[in-house]
Chains A and B, each alone.
Chain A
C-alpha cells in the first residue's frame, strides 16, 4: 500500500509562535494533498487542498494567511500555522493520492500531528 508520513507527530509551542508540519508521501508521487483538522470528539474537517506547483485552495472559514501551505514537490507538502494561539490546538492530518500506479483511486492518510499551543 501507499505510505504517508507526518513530522512532527507532536509539538507544543508558545502562543504567538509559528509551527511547520511536514507531510510526505514515502513511496509514491502525489500531485494533490489534503490537510484536515480534527478537534477532540469531532470528525475530520477539510482545511485545504494542496496542489503541487500552485496555490492551495482553502475551505470556507479557513484563513489562508494563518495556515500557509506549500507543495513544493510531488512528495512533500507543508502546513505552517502562523502566530499560533490556543484555539489552534488540534490534531492536524494530511492525506495524499498517488498520481500513478495501482493505488490512484483512494487517499492515504498520515498519522497526524498533535499541536498544543500554550
Chain B
C-alpha cells in the first residue's frame, strides 16, 4: 500500500506557483521522497527526489519538513503543460534495495489560463 496521502485534486492559474502537499508520516529513515507526474496516456515522468534537505532542479523544488513527515512540491511558474497527475512516493534508494515504486492515487493538478 502507498505510504503517502495527497489531495485528490488542485487547481492553479497559469503563471502562478503550484504547491502540491504530501503527507508521509510513517516514512522510515532510509526512505526518500520521490515525485513523479503522469500526463494523460503517457508513462510517469520523474520530477525530483530528496531525503531531508530541500532540493531544486530545472523542473521543480522539493521542500521536506524537518521531521520528514510531509513535503511540498513546488512548480514555480505553472503552465498548461503542467496539467497532470502528480505522485508522491516514499521508497528506499533503488540501487540499495532494488524495490519497485508503489503508486498511490496522486493529485490531479489542473492548470488553467
A43-B94 in contact given A106-B49, A109-B45, A110-B43 (Cβ < 8 Å): no
A117, CB-defined interface residue at 8 Å:
no
Contact indicator A34/B100 (Cβ below 8 Å) = yes
Contact indicator B43/A46 (Cβ below 8 Å) = no
- Total count of chain A residues near the partner, CB < 8 A: 25
B101, CB-defined interface residue at 8 Å:
yes
Nearest chain A CB to B112 CB, angstrom units:
21
Contact indicator A43/B104 (Cβ below 8 Å) = yes
A108, CB-defined interface residue at 8 Å:
yes
Q: Of residues A6, A44, A108, A110, which shows the largest number of chain B Cβ atoms within 10 Å of its Cβ?
A: A44
Determine the residue in chain A with the shortest Cβ distance to B44.
A109
Report B-chain residues with C-beta under 8 Å of the C-beta of A34. Answer: 100-101
Residues on A facing B (Cβ under 8 Å): 1, 4, 6, 32, 34, 36, 43-46, 49, 91, 93, 95, 97, 104-112, 114
20 extra A-B contacts, CB within 8 A, seeds A4-B43, A110-B43: A1-B46, A34-B100, A34-B101, A44-B44, A93-B43, A93-B44, A95-B43, A95-B44, A97-B94, A97-B95, A105-B49, A105-B94, A105-B95, A106-B46, A106-B94, A107-B100, A108-B46, A109-B44, A109-B45, A111-B42
Residues on B facing A (Cβ under 8 Å): 32, 34, 36, 38, 41-46, 49, 87, 93-95, 98, 100-106
Residue pairs across A and B with Cβ atoms less than 8 A apart, 24 shown, are A1-B46, A32-B98, A43-B87, A43-B103, A43-B106, A44-B44, A44-B103, A45-B103, A49-B98, A93-B43, A95-B43, A95-B101, A104-B94, A104-B95, A106-B34, A107-B100, A107-B101, A109-B36, A109-B43, A109-B45, A109-B46, A111-B43, A112-B42, A112-B43
